Structure 1
Amino acid sequence: MKLHLPVSAVGRSGEVSLRQAVNAILYVLKTGCQWRQLPREFPAWSAAYYYFNC
């Protein structure tokens, strides 16, 4: 099975669950909230936005 999200060889790896990052992206798209207003059950907004922007 091929991964659709990029895997970086540099920097920190595995600190953010990719499933939680995708859930955060879907939450922002569904509700229209701003990235910085993500609820605390999601990863940091900057981590979620990183995967959204890839």
Structure 2
Amino acid sequence: MRARHALAAQALDVRVEPGRKFWGWAGRTLGAPARTTTGQPAWLRLVSAPEDKASGKL
């Protein structure tokens, strides 16, 4: 999940603040404060779910 979070940050061209990652519900989400290339604050959250539950509630 950490590796995929880093790949998502790279793909979206945001910089995640080091050491500030937060695990969410049942370890299915990983979020962190981030900054865009222009310095705007953002939040990057990755959700992991089985394919058949991808469109349901978390």
TM-score by length of 1: 0.32
**Bigger-Rg structure (1/2):** 2
TM-score of the superposition, structure 2-length normalised?
A: 0.30
**Is the strand fraction higher in 1 or 2?**
2
Specify which structure has the higher proportion of helix: 1
